[in-house]
Amino acid sequence: MAEQAKKAVEEEVIKTYDYLAEDTKETGYEDMTNETMAIPWLKIIQKQTPELDKNKPEYIKGTEEGDMVNNLTKTNYGSLCQVVLLNFTRMYTEWKPDRGDFVTNHTVEHAEEIAASKVFGNWKTEDGNDLQECYMYLVLIVGHEDEGAMAFGMTSSKIKEAMKLNSVSKLKRYTTGAHAGEHILRQHQVYTLKTEYTTNEKGSWFAPKFDFYGVIEEMTFLASNEERKLLPTKKIDYAQLGNDKPKSSGDIAAETGDSRERPY
């Protein structure tokens, strides 16, 4: 669980050696800028994710289904944490047919232009590639501000929760004090993010759920401001949305009702 992962991090001791003291300049890394660094992903652990498989390099000891982890640092945040929403983008990702490889990402406007078929939940390009709607957030985890911004994508059935989150964040206002009645800026709002066990006739999975927690505190505010300044220069690897690839044509044919519903 998260407690075990946290203890492991706390027990890691990085010593300081006197012979390093005079080596004060970092040379040879001049081209290592934000543009060359990957933004980590906040990932929800499901039954088939490699973090649970001891034989996979992604394995994280002590991790369980429903936990949320940083895919780069391997930090396990458990099934509940507080987050600040740094940025939101609605977009589409393009994939090869039948859960194939990632192709590229598109703005909503461009996706609408290149979509040859616009069946609900099953947009296709002329080449037969899948276009998948994605509500993309960049978040900062309270208490882990030093880990920086993380990408968190919501697709398929999770878009319903994303739309609810967007509506709630627009309505939040101060209730007391000098700013009573004024809208709380989204980047000043803190949300509890937890995972909930969900099931239907097609299977079971852990889904994200957001609840308003309160207003950002000063330390987190300062960290989030710095992260927001850096966001335009950071690159996001949208291929990491691979666990949420569009369904195969066989899966779609087998479904009834809302085609966004899928167990991952």
Tell me the mean pLDDT in the region 236-258: 60
Looking at the predicted structure, is the pLDDT value of residue 143 above 80?
yes
Q: 52-77, pLDDT tens digit by residue? A: 999 999 999 999 999 999 999 999 99
Cβ atoms < 10 Å from Cβ of 37 = 14
Tell me the mean pLDDT in the region 90-110: 94
pLDDT recorded at residue 249: 45
DSSP for residue 144: -
Q: Residue 14 has which token pair?
A: 């990085």
Q: Residue 122 has which token pair?
A: 């099953």
Q: HSE-up of 64 (CA within 13 Å, CB side)?
A: 9
Count the residues in the chain.
264
- Please, where are the H alpha helices in the chain? 2-11, 108-114, 158-171, 218-230, 249-254
Phi-psi region of 120 (alpha: psi -120 to 50; beta: other; left: phi over 0): beta
Q: How far apart are CA 10 and CA 30, in angstroms?
A: 31
**Tokens 């543009």 — which residue?**
35
Higher pLDDT, 96 or 252: 96
The model's confidence at residue 262, banded by pLDDT at 50, 70 and 90, is very low
Quote the radius of gyration of the chain (alpha carbons, Å). Answer: 20
Q: How far apart are CA 205 and CA 161, in angstroms?
A: 15
| Most confident option among 17-31, 49-63, 181-195, 219-233 | 181-195
Q: 158-173, pLDDT tens digit by residue? A: 999 999 999 999 999 9
Which positions ≥6 away from 152 have C-beta within 8 Å?
A: 41, 42, 136, 137, 138, 139, 208
Percent of the chain with pLDDT over 90: 66
Q: How far apart are CA 142 and CA 111, in angstroms?
A: 34
